[in-house]
Structure 1
Amino acid sequence: MSNEPIALRQALASFDALWSPRIVTRVNDYDVRVAQVEGEHVWHVHDDTDEFFLVLDGELHISLREPAGERTVRLPRGAVFTVPKGTEHKPYAPTRTAILLFEPTGTSSVGDRHERIPAHVDATTGHTLES
């Protein structure tokens, strides 16, 4: 990890793979990741951790399966949302969208339990950001 400031716009411009988060820095035992997304992810759940989303550019929708039923939250640019641990969810971006994620180091991008992983979704614990 760099001990210099990181420009998120430049970090996002350094790769073009969708649904393939890059680790920009770490805070204690947490990764700060950026990703470019478009289309559907996969229904999944993180059994032991919340998942924080910040929309840097574009719009993200997150469908949630909760005890009261299924709902979708819409996150425009600048919005944040935390999916509580144990909540099944599926992110979707109608157009190319840039997001920032904050989650414990080693957390899988497809959760602990998930549906079939489509080819366009990278099952990873985050890739190192290339300088």
Structure 2
Amino acid sequence: MVIDPINFKEKLSLFQEHWSPKVIGEMNDYQYKLVKVEGEFVWHSHKDTDEVFIVLEGEMKIAFRDGETQLCKGEMYIVPKGVEHKPIAETECHIMLVEPKGVVNTGEASSELTAEQDVWI
């Protein structure tokens, strides 16, 4: 059994790429993923699950077809299942995602930003 805590800063130092979530833990059927974001992602939705965004460093916004929400360090937002959204960060932002195992980062959308699943760091 691992008894050391998971250090976000240490885990974030292990990768540089953007829009490529890395799994740092699992609880039941949910995964905790760290991701560095910068620029604009693709419009997408997750028809079967909500998606939690927790900002660890920086700022980002999540655009919706009828508005947007701005997130800063220490804030979180839950995108309801089925809601089309597009994450955007003008400068690099570090976030944690909480979502069920097997969720594709681009949902149903096909994109060059679709990341490999289940990559642990």
SS at match of 1:128: coil
Find the aligned partners of 2:114 and 2:2 in 1 and give their Cα distance: 24
Contact kept, 8 Å, 2:46 with 2:83, in 1: the verdict is yes
CA contact (8 A) 2:23 2:31 kept: yes
Gaps of 5+ in 1: none
Structural RMSD (CA): 1.5
SS at match of 1:43: coil
- The 1:126–1:73 alpha-carbon spacing in structure 2 relative to 1, beyond 3 Å, is farther
Query: Which 5+ residue runs of structure 2 have no aligned equivalent?
Result: none
Residue 120 of structure 2 is matched in structure 1 by: 128
* Letter aligned with residue 98 of structure 2: F
| Secondary structure at the counterpart of residue 37 of structure 2 | strand
Distance 1:126 1:20 in 2: 11
Give runs of ≥4 in structure 1 deviating > 6 Å.
none
One-letter code aligned to 1:74? Q
Compute the displacement of 1:3 (Å): 4.8
SS at match of 1:60: strand
As a proportion of its length, which structure holds more strand? 1
1:72 is aligned to: 68
2:58 and 2:81 mapped to 1: Cα distance? 25
Aligned residues: 121
CA distance in 2, matches of 1:37, 1:126: 18
The alignment-based identity, stated in percent, is 40
Please report how far the alpha carbon of residue 91 of structure 1 lies from its aligned counterpart in structure 2 after TM superposition. 0.3
Instruction: Tell me the TM-score normalised to structure 2 length.
Output: 0.93
**Could you tell me which residue of structure 1 aligns to residue 101 of structure 2?**
105
| TM-score, structure 1 as length reference | 0.87
The amino acid across from 2:115 in the alignment is A
8 A contact 1:19–1:35 mirrored in 2 = yes
